[in-house]
């Protein structure tokens, strides 16, 4: 029996713990936060029955890794898939973004609509993402979707998502967003935090120890080959360690990782995320839209019509009765780690974003806001350049017994809980193979 340490009680760490414990190894998870969950974690106001995600999340019906994992743990019955309305905001109007009669009203030419449908179908059906990663999304979409569709729909979204890097992102990233998407979007009874808590309860009942509020400060090696995890409380030796951290934190914890592997880790690029969540006394998007994509014409936020990328009215997806009658609205954005949104006070950011809400509902007044919350994460979205598959570091680090599994390695897929499950279980399989 091996003694295994896992850094991070997010979805990947918890999924790995399930398989490692099933193989009868001793498993301990270290989590810096006071709850499990990582970027998928939630919070709950005093008058709510359900948790709300700090950063908006949903599942797709194609999320097979997540659904299989939930089935194995006896949790599948708590997952359900409503079909909410997702839309674009174009020239002051809301247009449906999924296939529907309303989508035919998109302000693009007839030829553009035909190309949108045909190319969209190709991306949905093709499996050959490696051919697509040789091109940037900017050049491929411009060529095959046409200038009309690209300028109206996709360029504003790429700019809004990646800012000044929008012309560097490869087409495989865009393919993954289309290929795995379903019209029905899934969630969990009680919210994602409810799912994470149930998974944590399952692993602890199996004998896994989860140490909350225990950040790891360093990973060192003893003369006998064991890896030592150092926390503010103490240090402990393990036969193998799985880190589920950001690239920057991995190299900080284990600075002795050098050579080509370290260079690959250092070269990985990512951007951060910020959301302001408003609990409103009245509904904001009265047409029932859940997810509203907003246009961005410039990589410079100040030059755009809105100071954020997406407006998500969560209670047009799930009933407000789960949240004490609050109408919950996310205003979310992806930003560079050095963007001013990370320096502004929470009050300043909440006030700045709130100024845009009347655009979507002229009746909106500041006194509609009962309460607000701000959440920020400097590591939230990898930035994949052309031929990015060549850049991905292996899950096995050059240091014997030390493994790394992060959202930077789920490529070509986008980050999310489904692929966090997949990479966590893949890392566990490698660890078990090496231990044997």
Alpha helices in 98-170 (DSSP H): 110-125, 129-132, 137-144, 147-149, 155-162
Q: Does domain 3-78+190-268+388-435 have CATH number 3.90.1170.50?
A: no
Q: Where are the domains of the chain?
A: 3-78+190-268+388-435, 100-179, 270-382
Question: Which pLDDT does position 251 carry in this prediction?
Answer: 97
Asked if the model's pLDDT at residue 101 lies above 80, the reply is: no
With cut-offs at 50, 70 and 90, classify the pLDDT of residue 414: confident
With cut-offs at 50, 70 and 90, classify the pLDDT of residue 299: confident
117-150 residue pLDDT tens: 899 999 999 999 999 999 999 999 999 999 999 9
79-89 residue pLDDT tens: 999 999 999 99
Four-CA torsion 167, 171, 177, 179, nearest 10 degrees = 160
Q: Are 257 and 251 in contact (CB under 8 A)?
A: yes
30: its two tokens: 């270290």
160-218 residue pLDDT tens: 999 999 999 999 999 999 998 898 999 999 999 999 999 999 999 999 999 999 999 99
How much of the chain exceeds pLDDT 90, in percent? 92
411: its two tokens: 């490529």
With cut-offs at 50, 70 and 90, classify the pLDDT of residue 102: low
Answer whether 0.85 is exceeded by the pTM. Answer: yes
Give the phi and the psi of residue 217 in degrees, each rounded to 5.
-105, -25
The secondary structure of residue 367, as a DSSP letter, is G
For residue 12, which of 431, 426, 433, 435 has the smallest C-alpha distance?
426
Question: Which pLDDT does position 105 carry in this prediction?
Answer: 81
- What is the topology classification, in CATH, of domain 270-382? Polyamine Oxidase; Chain A, domain 2 (3.90.660)
159-172 residue pLDDT tens: 999 999 999 999 99
User: Can you tell me which residue has the tokens 């990233």?
Assistant: 173
Question: Which pLDDT does position 262 carry in this prediction?
Answer: 97
How much of the chain exceeds pLDDT 70, in percent? 99
24-54 residue pLDDT tens: 999 999 999 999 999 999 999 999 999 999 9
Strand, coil or helix: 392: coil
What span, in angstroms and rounded, lies between the C-alpha atoms of 225 and 400? 8
Question: Which pLDDT does position 106 carry in this prediction?
Answer: 87
């Amino acid at each position: 029996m091996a003694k295994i340490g896992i850094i991070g009680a997010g979805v990947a760490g918890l999924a790995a713990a399930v398989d490692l414990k099933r193989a009868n190894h001793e498993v301990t998870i270290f989590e810096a936060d006071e709850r499990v969950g990582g970027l998928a974690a939630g919070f709950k106001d005093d008058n709510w029955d359900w948790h709300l995600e700090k950063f908006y999340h949903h599942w797709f019906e194609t999320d097979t890794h997540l659904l299989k994992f939930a089935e194995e743990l006896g949790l599948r019955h708590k997952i359900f898939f409503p079909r909410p309305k997702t839309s674009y905001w174009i020239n002051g109007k809301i247009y449906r973004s999924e296939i529907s009669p309303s989508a035919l009203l998109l302000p693009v030419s007839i030829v553009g609509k035909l190309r949108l449908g045909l190319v969209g179908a190709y991306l949905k059906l093709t499996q050959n993402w490696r051919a697509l990663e040789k091109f940037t999304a900017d050049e491929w979409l411009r060529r095959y979707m046409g200038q009309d569709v690209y300028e109206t729909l996709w360029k504003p979204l790429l700019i809004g998502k990646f800012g000044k890097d929008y012309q560097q992102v490869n087409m495989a990233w865009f393919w993954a967003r289309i290929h795995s998407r379903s019209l029905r979007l899934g969630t969990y009874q009680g919210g994602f935090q409810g799912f994470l808590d149930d998974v944590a309860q399952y692993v602890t009942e199996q004998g896994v120890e989860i140490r909350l509020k225990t950040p790891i400060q360093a990973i060192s090696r003893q003369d006998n080959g064991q890896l030592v995890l150092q926390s503010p409380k103490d240090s402990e030796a393990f036969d193998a360690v799985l880190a589920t951290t950001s690239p920057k934190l991995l190299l900080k914890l284990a600075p002795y990782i050098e050579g080509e592997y370290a260079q690959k880790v250092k070269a990985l690029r990512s951007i951060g995320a910020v959301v302001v969540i408003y609990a409103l006394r009245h509904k904001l998007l009265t047409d029932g839209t859940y997810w509203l994509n907003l246009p961005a014409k410039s990589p410079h936020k100040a030059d755009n019509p809105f100071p954020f990328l997406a407006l998500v009215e969560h209670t047009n997806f799930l009933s407000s009765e789960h949240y004490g009658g609050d109408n919950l609205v996310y205003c979310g954005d992806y930003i560079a780690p050095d963007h001013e949104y990370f320096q502004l006070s929470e009050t300043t950011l909440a006030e700045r974003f709130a100024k845009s809400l009347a655009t979507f509902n002229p009746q909106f007044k500041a006194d509609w806001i009962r309460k607000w919350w701000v959440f920020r994460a400097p590591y939230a979205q990898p930035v994949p350049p052309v031929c990015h598959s060549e850049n991905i570091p292996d899950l096995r680090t050059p240091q014997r017994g030390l493994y790394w599994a992060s959202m930077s390695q789920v490529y070509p897929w986008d980050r999310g809980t489904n692929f966090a499950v997949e990479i966590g279980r893949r890392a566990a399989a490698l660890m078990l193979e090496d231990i044997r």
